[in-house]
């Protein structure tokens, strides 16, 4: 049976890992976890891609030593360096960005509202394949992109007023619906944590569910 290894910035028991444990249920023993030791989303935001690849080498090796058969980065924005990590060849990497894209396409939405870290919303590693699949990708304005990056930082750091941030997040999602989005791509493990318990104005694709789909597919290859 395949064993999943997860690299997070928040330690082996962060909220994303806990969600995966709940979703995998009886397969919870198949999870190994390692801590990146650096805020992956922050290095991605600052464009420090080479440093991010170097910093992930050690936890990837730790997961290989722990018997993991594949690895998952618990940060969507860190997937900006997935190709470089895959070329290093330490462990097969589950593509969370690709899993999110596949789940969006499965919904058959003509347009999707993409929310995530600043890098995820601005870069092409997640948006471009969706656009090439004839899906209209809507993102918020620059001010809201920067606020969402701040929200990701706050959730990762355990700071900020949760209720206030949740209200602002709901306002942003409502604007996406008004702009014609049929669904929400919440492409951030931190924003997924922030959205827990909320009734979102749009049906949503979330990282934890997409990661579960990717691991299930890997196990059946």
pLDDT over 90, % of the chain? 50
What tokens appear for 108 in the block? 């058959």
> How many angstroms separate the Cα of 57 from the Cα of each of 79, 87, 91, 189?
14, 12, 10, 21
- Band of pLDDT at residue 23, cut at 50, 70 and 90: confident
SS3 169: helix
Q: What is the pLDDT of residue 11?
A: 43
Decide if pLDDT at 17 tops 60. Answer: yes
Q: Please give the residue that has the higher pLDDT: either 15 or 130.
A: 130
Decide if pLDDT at 149 tops 90. Answer: yes
SS3 198: coil
Q: What is the pLDDT of residue 12?
A: 40
* CA 117/CA 45 separation, integer angstroms: 8
For 156-177, letters b (16+ CB in 10 Å) and e give beeeeeeeebbebbeebbebbb
Looking at every residue in the chain, the average pLDDT score rounds to 89
Mean pLDDT of 1-12: 74
| C-alpha 1, offset from chain centre | 25
DSSP state of 92: P
Q: What is the pLDDT of residue 55?
A: 87
136-146: pLDDT as tens digits:
999 999 999 99
């Amino acid at each position: 049976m395949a064993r999943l290894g997860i690299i997070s910035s928040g330690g082996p028991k962060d909220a994303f890992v806990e969600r995966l444990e709940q979703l995998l249920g009886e397969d919870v023993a198949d999870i190994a976890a390692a801590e990146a030791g650096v805020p992956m989303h922050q290095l991605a935001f600052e464009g420090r891609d080479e440093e991010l690849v170097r910093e992930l080498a050690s936890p990837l090796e730790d997961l290989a030593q722990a018997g993991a058969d594949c690895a998952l980065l618990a940060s969507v924005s860190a997937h900006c360096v997935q190709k470089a990590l895959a070329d290093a060849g330490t462990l097969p990497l589950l593509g969370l960005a690709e899993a999110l894209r596949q789940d969006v396409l499965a919904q058959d939405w003509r347009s999707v509202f993409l929310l995530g870290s600043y890098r995820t919303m601005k870069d092409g590693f997640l948006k471009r394949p969706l656009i090439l699949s004839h899906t209209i990708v809507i993102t918020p304005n620059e001010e809201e992109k920067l606020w969402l990056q701040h929200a990701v930082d706050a959730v990762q750091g355990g700071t900020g007023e949760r209720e206030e941030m949740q209200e602002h997040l709901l306002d942003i999602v409502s604007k996406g619906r008004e702009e014609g989005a049929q669904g929400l791509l919440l492409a951030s493990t931190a924003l997924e944590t922030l959205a827990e318990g909320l009734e979102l104005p749009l049906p949503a694709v979330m990282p934890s569910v997409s990661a579960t789909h990717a691991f299930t597919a890997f196990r059946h290859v």
